[in-house]
Amino acid sequence: MFYFIDDYFIDSLTKYLEEKLNNPFLIIKRENIKNVWESINWNKIILVKIYDDFYVIEYEDWEFLDYSNIKEYKDYVENLINSYSFQQTHLSITYLRSYIKYLNNNEIEAILNAVLDNNQIWWIIDDEDVREFVLDIFNTKSYLLSEEKIIELNELLWIKK
């Protein structure tokens, strides 16, 4: 994480967000950077707190690629994990598809556990959108799960089909 608190990086990040947020007076300091993790597509995701909002910024090879306010997708993560209907599962996945790259390891682990624990997800695992979404996160982040859960998910994803 050291690189992401370097002065040059902070200045570049500030300029990027000033433009994207249309705020020429934005001030970002080291303490605004709250976390950094690797996305499912192997880019870095930087969590930045600005005033009362949290933003995630996708970063790769010295370039800022995209950003989002976590308010835009956070509720859909919870809705998917706690889904009470097939429709809610499909809706949450459809919405989260655009934000999948921002999901942190805790969110991904919770989603993968929900696939096993929530029958509103595992009953429709063969639906194309559900299967693709789960495979996208499982294929790159399965290491977050216990060996037992990895085996269970593999069986669900490959044997059920």
> What token pair was written down for 43?
């880019």
Q: Are residues 59 and 84 in the same domain?
A: no
User: Which of 27, 55, 71 is the C-terminal boundary of a domain?
Assistant: 71
Q: Are residues 11 and 28 in the same domain?
A: yes
Is 86:122 a contact under the CB 8 Å cutoff?
Answer: no
Give the H/E segment covering residue 152: helix 147-154
User: Structurally, how many domains does the chain consist of?
Assistant: 2
Q: Are residues 155 and 121 in the same domain?
A: yes
- With a CB cutoff of 8 Å and minimum separation 6, the contacts of 28 are 10, 13, 14, 17, 48, 50
Q: Are residues 11 and 24 in the same domain?
A: yes
Residue 79, domain extent: 73-159
d(CA 92, CA 57): 21
Task: Output the tens digit of pLDDT for each of the chain's 161 residues.
Answer: 556 778 899 999 999 999 999 999 999 999 999 999 999 999 999 999 999 999 999 999 889 999 999 999 999 999 999 999 999 999 999 999 999 999 999 999 999 999 999 999 999 999 999 999 999 999 999 999 999 999 999 999 875 54
